[in-house]
Amino acid sequence: MLTAPASPSLAPSLSTQLRATARCVRAVGEGRSLSDVLPEVAPALRPGVQALTFHVLRHLGMARALVALLAERKPQAAVLGLLHSAVALLLEPTDGVRYAPHTVVNQAVGAARNDRSTERQASFVNACLRRFLREQVDLLAEVERDPVARWNHPLWWIERLRRDHPQDWQAILTASNQPGPMTLRVNRRRTDRASYQQALQDQGLASTPVGSDGLELATPLPVERLPGFAQGHCSVQDAAAQRAADLLLEGREWSRADRVLDACAAPGGKTAHLLERAEVDLLALDVDPGRCERIQDTLGRLGLAAEVRCADAARPGAWWDGRAFDAILLDAPCTASGIVRRHPDVRWLRREADVAALVAVQRALLEALWPLLKPGGRLLYATCSVFRAEGEGQVRAFLEHHTDAVLRPSLGHLLPGLAAGSGEFNDNRPGGQDGFFYNRIDKAPL
């Protein structure tokens, strides 16, 4: 584990944070998720290191291209991680804070000297960064021609977006490189949105209503500062993710006699929203035991109850009791290409082959769950992806092979950062929301 500075009363130095950030960036380059890496950072360092690491990953394409020009021979991985981190800090402000260039250079050199894996390369780090400051105009002009550097996404990702969204691909990439707003979902069973917005205002926290239950904060803050958070008055959930409950439940009355399945439920945000909105008999599944615990924790804090089972939704023979469901939410595993602004490591972890593999998983889940739905029931298919293969393409293929499937008017693709489209599979551009895909498919009555 990385260690915090000796004096807990002082904020960690930029040098200390850079050293930890470089290790996180290196770990992502080696294929590890930040969700696994950041918990290894000491708690005192973690908030600052997370902010810096997110910043670096949002500029990693450009940083890699620049470092490749600055270093005639490719340095060892530890040095590369530090150079990528320092160059990214020299490119743009971090969370609105711009460090003086000489401060970044000096602190990066200090980080190199205080790490056994890089201490012999401190002079090399110093030389590369000072050269960047001298020649940055020419260096930036040279790498700007590289699309990976220009857009800070892998080339295959950029090309897929250009094919899938020829009018909007640049806006999607631009939005994906911006931090997402902090959006809350107000728990209707504990309070109402107007009252909770006033509670925020009383603490000097400005917010704007979004969707049916959401409030977008003007400024992000730790959940511990949210009034009533521990008592279950609200949850943190992007406005796009909050659409699921509306789309699955709209148009009818629900009761405890109605069986609802949340097939891939962790971490439990959509499960909880369904229960906040309707008194139903809900079964929440997830294949991972640890993630099932997160669902239970979420429901417990919000004062909600559901049956939570650790099971593979694609293998109903192992868990289904034979009683059909009135509604199914399938928030399927996907590339997460619509939420990279909140998970900037995803773009660097995914490989082009992952798309086809995940499409196969999604198809298997749809096929396995459709027989579990009552005639006249409804299934909401969702992914947090902007790739058409995981959205429109998946639903079209399903409809072609199931004559009892009826597509209902639905949202289709939600594209981050962009005004509303039209058509059977809409391209909606909701502005500050994440990228998502939603379509409701009803089973024809007997």
Structure tokens, 148: 């990976």
Let me know if 334 is a catalytic residue: no
Pick from 250, 248, 284: nearest CA to 266: 284
Q: Tell whether pTM > 0.75.
A: yes
For residue 312, the tally of other CB atoms under 10 A from its CB is: 16
- Stretch among 9-23, 286-300, 415-429 having the lowest mean pLDDT: 415-429
Taking only the tens place, the pLDDT of each residue in 120-165 is 999 999 999 999 999 999 999 999 999 999 999 999 999 999 999 9
Decide if 59 is inside a domain.
yes
- Check whether residue 220 and residue 272 sit in a common domain: no
For residue 395, the tally of other CB atoms under 10 A from its CB is: 24
How far is residue 144's CA from residue 66's CA, in Å, rounded to a whole number?
10
In whole angstroms, what separates CA 132 from the centre of its chain?
32
- Check whether residue 191 and residue 270 sit in a common domain: no
Which CATH number goes with the domain that contains 437?
Answer: 3.40.50.150
- Max Cα-Cα span within the chain: 76
- Check whether residue 412 and residue 275 sit in a common domain: yes
Average pLDDT over residues 343-364: 98
Taking only the tens place, the pLDDT of each residue in 279-333 is 999 999 999 999 999 999 999 999 999 999 999 999 999 999 999 999 999 999 9
- Stretch among 29-38, 286-295, 350-359, 413-422 having the lowest mean pLDDT: 413-422
- Check whether residue 97 and residue 146 sit in a common domain: yes
Average pLDDT over residues 85-100: 84
Average pLDDT over residues 63-88: 95
For 292, the domain range is 243-443
End-to-end CA distance of the chain: 60
- Check whether residue 385 and residue 312 sit in a common domain: yes
Q: Is 251 left (phi over 0), alpha (psi -120 to 50) or beta?
A: left
pLDDT beyond 90 at 418: no
Which CATH number goes with the domain that contains 191?
Answer: 3.30.70.1170
- Check whether residue 219 and residue 302 sit in a common domain: no
Taking only the tens place, the pLDDT of each residue in 256-281 is 999 999 999 999 999 999 999 999 99
pLDDT beyond 80 at 9: no
State which of 207, 236, 265 marks the end of a domain.
Answer: 236
Catalytic residue of the set 24, 128, 234, 384: 384
- 291 contact partners, CB below 8 Å, separation of at least 6: 266, 267
- Check whether residue 205 and residue 263 sit in a common domain: no
Domain count of the fold of the chain: 3
- Check whether residue 255 and residue 215 sit in a common domain: no
As beta bridge partners, residue 380 has 329, 440
